[in-house]
Structures are given as C-alpha cells and as structure tokens.
Amino acid sequence: MPRTHILALDQGTTSSRAVVFDQEGRAVASSQREFPQHYPRPGWVEHDPLAIWASQWSTAIETLGKADLLPADIAAIGITNQRETTLLWERETGKPVYPAIVWQDRRTADFCASLKAEGVEDLFTRKTGLRLDPYFSATKIRWILDHVDGSRKLAEQGKLMFGTVDTWLLWRLSGRTVHATDATNASRTLLYDIHRGDWDDELLEILEIPRSILPEVKDSSGIFGESSEGIPISGIAGDQHAALFGQGCFSSGMAKNTYGTGCFMLMNTGSEAVASQNNLLTTIAWRIGGKTEYALEGSVFVGGAVVQWLRDELQLIRTAEECNALAATVPDSGGLYLVPAFTGLGAPHWDPYARGAAFGMTRGTNRAHFCRAALESIAFQSAELAECMVKDSGIPLKELRVDGGAVRSDLLMQFQADLLGVNVIRPKDVESTAAGAAYLAGLGVGFWEGKEELARHHEIDREFHPSRPRQEMEQLEAGWRRAVERAKAWES
C-alpha cells in the first residue's frame, strides 16, 4: 500500500503538537498538549525533558488516531522545534543530567557580559552570525558543565550528549540510535560556523565545551534515520526556519513573522549571509542538497506570551479570545504602553537586564486597556524588527506573511499593517511551522517534487491593508520608544 501522508511533530515552548498532512499539503488532523513551565528563580526558565518527549509522543499517537491512519500510512516524519533550548543527557542511560534550559532563560547574562569584556563577541558574530547573549545554547551548555556535579567529567569521557530539542526527539524516535541535528538548529548554538558549515574548534575552546558531546549536522531535508516503526525521519528545522519554508518564502527578499510565544521575523537573503548593521542576526534559513541559504532574523522574546501572562499571572482574562474581545471594546490603549521585557529584550536592543513595565496608566486605565496594550506591544516590537531588516538588506518590505496562533486576532493584524505601512498576509493555515517541517520531510523522501509544487499549497485567508494616517502611527511609535528606553537596564 502507498504511504499517503506526512506526520509533522511541532515541539514548541509551551506545548507539543502533531499534524498530519496529505499529498495536497492540507492538514487533515492535529492534536496539542501543553506541558509544565518551571521558573526556579527570577529570569530562569526550565522544562522537564521527559515531559517534552511524553507530550510529543502522545500527540503523535492521538493525531494518527484522529486521522484513522496507521504508521504504515506515513511516508515520513518531520520535526520542528523550539530553538536554542539546551539538553544534556547520558549517552548510556538516556538520563538527562539537568532540566532543559529554555531559550528564554537569562541565567548566563553575567557570563555573556564577561565574554564581551574579553573582546571576543566580534569573533563569535563573524563566525556564527549571532551575538553573545544568554538566548543561545552555548553558554547554557557551559553553565550545566560548570554547575552540575560530574557532568564535565562525563562530557570529557565522551559519555554525555548535547542536543537542542530536535536532537532529543530524533534520538528518542530512532530508538536511541541517531545523534544528529540539522544546519538550522546548529546555527543557533553559538558554536557553528555558518560560512564553513561545521562546528568551530576555536569557539569550543573559548567556552570549554568538548566537541565529543555535539551531534552530527545534516541537511534540513534528507534521511536522518528511521523511527522504531520504520518510518523515515527526513526533515528537521528550527521552528522559525520551518515557518519561513512553510510560508513559501523561497526567494531572496521574502519575509515572514511568526507570532507565537515570542515573535520571530525572518527575511530570506538567498546564498548571501548578510552581516547586520542594525543588531539583527544572520542565520541559516535551511540547507537542502548541500546548498545553504541564509536569512536575516529579528527575535522578540515575549510576543504571544504576554497574553498568557495576563491570563495566568494577573488573571485579568480566562482565554486569549477574551483578551482580543476586551481589547476591541476600547478605541485605543488610552495612552498605556506595556513593555513585556519579562526575560529581557531581544533584537534590536539585546538587553538581558531589561524588565517588564507599564507606562501611561491613569485612574481610567482598565483591563480592556491592558489587553489592547498587550496586543499592541506585539506589533510594536515586530515593527522595530522590520525597520532594521529593511536597513540591513536594502530591500523595501513589500508585504509581510504572518503565521502563529496570535495572527487569529484581526485587531493585532490590522494594527501591524498600520504600523508597517504594508499589507499583512494571513494564510488559511496559520500553522506554517508544522507545514514547513512536513514539506522538508516530504521533499526528503520524494513525496513532493520540489519548491514549485509546495508554493501552490500556500492559500491566503485575508490581507490587512494599512488604514491609519502615517503621522498618527509615528506618534504612537515615538511613545513606544520612550517606554522601551525606561524599561532598559532595570536589573543592572
């Protein structure tokens, strides 16, 4: 019997999802499961690696059941994942030596500052396209080796394995036989030379990380191994790279923004690795057939997570839908600016010592204003990224393709279009991340012939056109910049 579907595993920061796609690129079934977030100290964020695996595996089983499919019906598995999150486990037992340190975690801020003081940041940036920031994996690895008893000795003896979440899932899916990652995830570690396409011994030496713990780096599309059921695992990409691929941004100059826990804007720059002059990152978009394509990226640490904060911590709302409905009951935020720098600020500020703040409150400020200001904060942060991207690339932004859970908010998407002054295009399937993983996996086994076929799968749900005067939006942006400046360097 022919294998008729692709299974995409989408392991995110707050939940794991599985989606089954058919030959036409349509999602035919999906399931999702949240898992616990742990905050042992201010600025620290951790996950249980076994909870990540259990939640992802259970969604895969559930999704196949919903689709009435058997493993024999699945042509390939694709994996996409929260990036930079760092896991170390014992090679022999598979036991994690410490909880997964999440990409949002800020515990290595002081170490990053000390490395900058030593004058090595330019070296890291030149080789990796990244900055010395706690966001990335390398300083998290170093922290575990320095603070978990016995871990450095295990690492030096070759008995420890490092992986981002994709590597952990691949290792488990393959029956603990394949220790590998793809070029996109490798490019987010601060240890991978994106120009040579290899782990860098000089950077490893500076950070005192043994090369033996690192996974093999492969193309984003191609056979990594097989699951215990004999299904090829043939596509892997970090979530933002998968979303860029899933949105069909195959040509230089095309851009997308994903509105998830954080916000991540990527612009395809083709075969050129553009060095940013505006505090963006240069990263690998994907590597297929041995050919590397690059992207400029801007990262917002707290995007949709600000709505979770309103729900879980302040308890102002019960659901994300309620936030959107309340925000729509007021014409504007009433002068309120909410800067959600709960774990510092990402691009273009790169301030790990910034903290969340609300400015402009009056006696009349109510929870509807907080909801609106929260949604607007997502758009303000994204607009900053777009401005830097245009300056770096020299390419005017003609449109912005969007995806992620928060794009279901018409209010947010319209405000984003008004801020950018260009059309914002929302696809019918807003879960482009899973689609990208499926596309990469399908290409890896010949399920689809090429990018041209995949581009035909991209269907538009709605375009949001700018509707407010430019002068009005510039005044709002000026207020946002004032608020951000006041939130900076709070912890220092």
Could you report the per-residue pLDDT of 53-75, keeping only the tens digit for each?
999 999 999 999 999 999 999 99
Terminal alpha carbon distance of the chain:
63
Same domain, 330 and 453: yes
Tokens of 59: 């969604």
pLDDT at 185 over 70: yes
Same domain, 75 and 173: yes
Taking all residues of the chain, what is their mean pLDDT, rounded to a whole number?
A: 94
Q: Is 260 annotated as a binding residue?
A: no
145 vs 206: CA distance, rounded Å: 14
Q: Please write the tens of the pLDDT for every residue from 313-329.
A: 999 999 989 999 999 99
Same domain, 175 and 270: no
Same domain, 90 and 18: yes
**Angle between the N-to-C axes of helices 109-117 and 137-147, in degrees from 0 to 180, rounded to the nearest 10:** 110
**Where does a domain end: 218, 236, 257?**
218
In DSSP terms, 232 is beta-bridged to 226
**Where does a domain end: 172, 197, 218?**
218
Tell me whether strands 423-427 and 399-403 are parallel, antiparallel or unpaired: parallel
Asked whether residue 208 is assigned to any structural domain, the reply reads: yes
Lowest pLDDT segment from 169-183, 254-268, 473-487: 254-268
Q: Is 222 annotated as a binding residue?
A: no
* Residue bearing the bigger pLDDT, 311 or 457: 311
Q: Please write the tens of the pLDDT for every residue from 217-247.
A: 999 999 999 999 999 999 999 999 999 999 9
Q: Average the pLDDT over 180-189 and give the result.
A: 98
Q: Average the pLDDT over 422-431 and give the result.
A: 86
Please report which confidence band the pLDDT of residue 428 belongs to, taking 50, 70 and 90 as the band edges: confident
Q: Please write the tens of the pLDDT for every residue from 363-388.
A: 999 999 999 999 999 999 999 999 99
Q: Which residue range forms the structural domain that includes residue 404?
A: 248-491
User: What is the structure's pLDDT at 393?
Assistant: 86
DSSP letter for each residue of 435-464 = HHHHHHHHHHTTSS--HHHHHTT--EEEEE
**Where does a domain end: 218, 238, 257?**
218
Same domain, 63 and 208: yes
User: What is the structure's pLDDT at 183?
Assistant: 98
Asked if the bond preceding 348 is cis, omega within 30° of 0, the reply is yes
Q: Are 457 and 447 in contact (CB under 8 A)?
A: no
Asked whether residue 231 is assigned to any structural domain, the reply reads: no
Same domain, 256 and 205: no
Q: Is 468 annotated as a binding residue?
A: no
Same domain, 93 and 55: yes
Q: Is 240 annotated as a binding residue?
A: yes
User: What is the structure's pLDDT at 404?
Assistant: 84
Q: Is 239 annotated as a binding residue?
A: yes
Show Cβ contacts of residue 369 under 8 Å, excluding neighbours closer than 6 positions: 330, 333, 334, 336
Q: Is 14 annotated as a binding residue?
A: yes
295 vs 250: CA distance, rounded Å: 11
User: What is the structure's pLDDT at 397?
Assistant: 86
Asked whether residue 420 is assigned to any structural domain, the reply reads: yes
User: What is the structure's pLDDT at 1?
Assistant: 61
CA distances in angstroms from 282 to 134, 266, 293, 384, listed in the order given: 17, 10, 11, 17
Q: Is 344 annotated as a binding residue?
A: no
In DSSP terms, 282 is beta-bridged to 296
426 vs 405: CA distance, rounded Å: 11
User: What is the structure's pLDDT at 60?
Assistant: 96
Same domain, 208 and 257: no
Asked whether residue 226 is assigned to any structural domain, the reply reads: no
Same domain, 262 and 385: yes
Type of residue numbered 187 = S
Asked whether residue 56 is assigned to any structural domain, the reply reads: yes
Q: Whole-model pTM above 0.95? A: no
Q: Is 261 annotated as a binding residue?
A: yes
Q: How far is CA 348 from the centre of its chain?
A: 16
Residue whose structure tokens are 């390419």: 395
pLDDT at 99 over 70: yes
Asked whether residue 223 is assigned to any structural domain, the reply reads: no
Q: Is 167 annotated as a binding residue?
A: no
Q: Is 135 annotated as a binding residue?
A: yes
Q: What is the dihedral of CA 465, 468, 469, 471, to 10 degrees?
A: -110
Q: What is the CATH number of the domain that holds 211?
A: 3.30.420.40
176: three-class secondary structure by DSSP: coil
Closest listed residue to residue 32, CA positions, set 12, 46, 6: 12
Q: Is 392 annotated as a binding residue?
A: no
Q: Is 439 annotated as a binding residue?
A: no
Same domain, 154 and 281: no
Surface-to-core class of residue 134, CB atoms within 10 Å of its CB (0-12 exposed, 13-18 middle, 19+ buried): buried
Show Cβ contacts of residue 304 under 8 Å, excluding neighbours closer than 6 positions: 259, 260, 261, 262, 263, 320, 378, 404, 405, 406
Same domain, 105 and 25: yes
Asked whether residue 204 is assigned to any structural domain, the reply reads: yes
User: What is the structure's pLDDT at 452?
Assistant: 84
User: Which DSSP symbol is given to 405?
Assistant: G
User: Which DSSP symbol is given to 83?
Assistant: S
Asked whether residue 161 is assigned to any structural domain, the reply reads: yes
Same domain, 119 and 255: no
Number of domains into which the chain is organized: 2
